[in-house]
Amino acid sequence: MRIPISVKLAGAILVLLAVLTVVLTWRLEAEARRQALVQIRLRGEGVARMLAINAADELGLLDDLRLAQFVVDASTLPDILYAAVVNEDGVVFAHSDFEEGGIGRPFDPPWEGYAPVEEGLAETPFLHRGRPARDLTAPIIIADLETSRRIGEVHVGVSEEPAVRAVQELRRTVLVIAGTALGAAVILAALYGFFLTRPLKRIAAGVDRIGKGDFGYRIAVRRKDEIGDLGAAVNAMAESLDHSRYIRNAFRLYVSRQVADQIIGDPERHLKQTRGQRRDVTVMFADIRGFTPLAERLPPEEVVAVLNAYLSFLTEPVFAYDGTLDKFMGDCVMAVFGAPVDQDDHALRGILAALEMQGGIARLNEERAAAGLQTVRIGIGLTTGQAIVGSIGSEERLDYTAIGDTVNLASRLEGAAAEGQIIVNEEVYRLVRDCVVAEKLEPMMVKGKKEPVQAWNVTGLAPGAELPGNIRRHDGGSGIRADEKYAG
Q: Are residues 280 and 150 in the same domain?
A: no
Asked if the structure places residue 257 within a domain, the reply is no
Q: Are residues 149 and 13 in the same domain?
A: yes
Q: What is the mean pLDDT of the chain?
A: 83
Q: Are residues 279 and 398 in the same domain?
A: yes
pLDDT of residue 318: 92
Identify the residue with better confidence: 481 or 150.
Answer: 150
Pairing state between β 378-393 and 422-425: parallel
Half-sphere exposure of 211 (CA within 13 A, CB side): 6
Asked if the structure places residue 74 within a domain, the reply is yes
- Give me the percent of the chain exceeding a pLDDT of 90: 23
CATH code, domain with 395:
3.30.70.1230
Asked if the structure places residue 105 within a domain, the reply is yes
Asked if the structure places residue 50 within a domain, the reply is yes
Residue of 465, 1, 6, 412 whose CA lies nearest to 200: 6
Q: Find out whether the peptide bond into 293 is cis, omega within 30 degrees of 0.
A: no
Asked if the structure places residue 144 within a domain, the reply is yes
Asked if the structure places residue 239 within a domain, the reply is no
* End position of a domain, from candidates 125, 147, 166: 166
* End position of a domain, from candidates 131, 147, 166: 166
Q: Are residues 160 and 280 in the same domain?
A: no
The string of pLDDT tens digits covering residues 200-242 is 788 888 888 888 878 788 888 777 777 778 888 888 888 887 7
Q: Are residues 151 and 284 in the same domain?
A: no
CATH code, domain with 28:
3.30.450.20
Asked if the structure places residue 428 within a domain, the reply is yes
Instruction: Classify residue 376 by its DSSP letter.
Output: -
Q: How far is CA 198 from the centre of its chain?
A: 17
Pairing state between β 80-87 and 277-288: unpaired
Average pLDDT over residues 297-308: 88
* End position of a domain, from candidates 166, 199, 224: 166
Q: Is 97 exposed, middle or buried (0-12, 13-18, 19+ CB in 10 A)?
A: middle
Asked if the structure places residue 195 within a domain, the reply is no
- What whole-number distance in Å separates Cα of residue 73 and Cα of residue 67? 10
For the full predicted model, state whether its pTM sits above 0.85: no
Residues spanned by the domain of 160: 5-166
Indicate the SS3 state at residue 7: helix
pLDDT of residue 473: 53
Sign (positive/negative) of CA torsion 262, 264, 265, 268? positive
Please give the full DSSP string across 69-86, using - where no structure is assigned: HHHHHHHTSTTEEEEEEE
Q: Is 144 exposed, middle or buried (0-12, 13-18, 19+ CB in 10 A)?
A: exposed
How many domains does one find in the chain? 2
Please give the full DSSP string across 232-276, using - where no structure is assigned: HHHHHHHHHHHHHHHHHHHHHTTB-HHHHHHHHHSHHHHHHHTT-
